[in-house]
Amino acid sequence: MTQISTATMALQGMKVIEMGQLIAGPFASKMLGEFGADVIKIEPPGVGDPLRKWRKIKDGTSLWWHVQSRNKRSLTLNLKEREAQDIVRQLIAEADVLVENFRPGTLEGWGLGYDDLKQINPRLIMLRISGYGQTGPYRDLPGFGVIGEAMGGLRHLSGYPGQAPVRVGISIGDSLSSLYGVIGVLLALQERQRSGLGQEIDVALYESVFAMMESLVPEYDAFGHIREPAGSALPGITPSNSYPCNDGTYVLIAGNGDSIYKRLMSLIGRDDLGNDPRLEQNDGRSEHAEMIDAAIAEWTALRSRDEVIDALKAARVPAGYPYTAADIVKDPHYLARQMIETVQTSAGPLKVPGVLPKLSRTPGRLGNGGPQLGEHSYNILAGLGLNDEQVNGLRERGII
The Cα–Cα gap between 31 and 353 comes to: 12
Cα 162 from Cα 277, distance rounded (Å)? 34
CB 125 within 8 A of CB 199: yes
Contact 101, 161 (CB under 8 A): no
DSSP β-ladder status, 15-19 and 97-100: parallel
Q: Are 139 and 113 in contact (CB under 8 A)?
A: no
Asked if the peptide bond before residue 357 counts as cis, ω within 30 degrees of 0, the response is yes
**Bridge partners of residue 342, in order along the sequence:** 351
Strands (DSSP E) contained in 101-180 are 125-130
Q: Which of 174, 271, 276, 283 is catalytic?
A: 174
Distance between CA atoms of residues 7 and 262, nearest Å: 52
140 catalytic per annotation: no
* Residues 254, 319: Cα–Cα separation, whole Å: 6
Q: Annotated active-site positions, please?
A: 174
